[in-house]
Structure 1
């Protein structure tokens, strides 16, 4: 599976116009001035453009969540490949 953090960073740069130099794993959504609507839009882009599974309940991701927190949350929600 592709690591999620680089995808989140890429989406923030490409779709939200954030400067890559201002984005790091410990950046919070609040620091990036992203409200709940922007977070929903980010999750929608990650789902539609990259095929990531996004749980319906993502209330754990609030303004204080870091990008590393968000990436770990999304990675944990991905289906595991079936054992052979």
Structure 2
């Protein structure tokens, strides 16, 4: 997995009480039982971690962890 994915998993583990070993790349945020408030908080934490602007619609409950990492990577690439 990519560095972005690994850092995103670390954010989930540190900030949301999830076990890093239990997070699968294809799990969706809804399967992790993250509500809309948790997704907003994750978006804010990801913005700080990765230094990219994220809109609320960039990370959705139906997105997998790997999809979110790819979205963040695309945002970082567009800033380069």
TM-score range normalised by the length of the shorter chain: 0.7 to 0.9
Q: Compute the displacement of 1:55 (Å).
A: 3.0
Structure with higher helix content: 2
**What residue in structure 1 maps to residue 29 of structure 2?**
29
**What residue in structure 2 maps to residue 63 of structure 1?**
61
Gapped regions of structure 1 (runs ≥ 5): none
Match runs of 1:1-84 below 5 Å: 3-48=3-48, 50-56=49-55, 58-78=56-76, 79-80=79-80
Q: Compute the displacement of 1:26 (Å).
A: 0.6
CA offsets 1:31-73 (integer angstroms, 9 cap, x no match): 111112111111111222x2420333x4253221000000001
SS of structure 2 residue aligned to 1:18: coil
- Give the aligned length: 77
- Output the TM-score relative to the length of structure 1: 0.79
User: d(CA) in 2 for partners of 1:3 and 1:28?
Assistant: 19
Larger Rg: 1
Gapped regions of structure 2 (runs ≥ 5): none
SS of structure 2 residue aligned to 1:31: coil
Quick check: 1:54–1:74 contact (8 Å CA) kept in 2?
Answer: no
Cα-Cα RMSD: 1.7
